[in-house]
Amino acid sequence: MSQENVERAKQVLDAISKFDFSQVIALTDPEVEWRSFFALGEEGVYRGHDAMRRYANDVKDAWEVLRPEIDGALEVADLALLVGRLHYRGRGSGVETESRAGWMFRFRDGRVLIFRAFREPERVFAAVGLSEQDVQADS
């Protein structure tokens, strides 16, 4: 079974951790809808590449470190669902912390069309009509 979308999703998260937003934009569809983990700038929802450039500036202004760590991933059709943790340190405060996280990526023609980040990993499954029990039963 192909895991291409999971690998692409990991590339996106890796680019974010390196603050390489030109790569993030290259991996997204021009009509991307990006829902951030954090309520930054545009209340956490960015649409299109111009908005993604604003997202890049918002992230760079807010965070000195932003590093996702993946614990598990599942690919279903055009979706990649990932769960793990997000490590981050505020640029102004210097406070470093970690949060549980879930990420949902929907792809079109190999590029991210819809991205959603969740503070509760289990919500990534609910967003696509699954429960953790559904996923575990299929494992």
| Cross-strand partners of 46 | 34
DSSP, res 38: S
pLDDT higher than 80, residue 133: no
**What is the structure's pLDDT at 126?**
78
Task: For 71-108, give one letter per residue: b (16+ CB within 10 A) or e.
Answer: eebbbeeebbbbbbebbbeeeeeeeeeeeebbbbbbbe
What pTM was estimated for this model as a whole? 0.86
Strand, coil or helix: what is 10?
Answer: helix
- The predicted-structure confidence for 52-103, as pLDDT tens digits, reads as follows 999 888 888 888 998 999 999 999 899 999 999 999 898 888 889 999 999 9
The CATH number assigned to the domain with range 4-138 reads 3.10.450.50
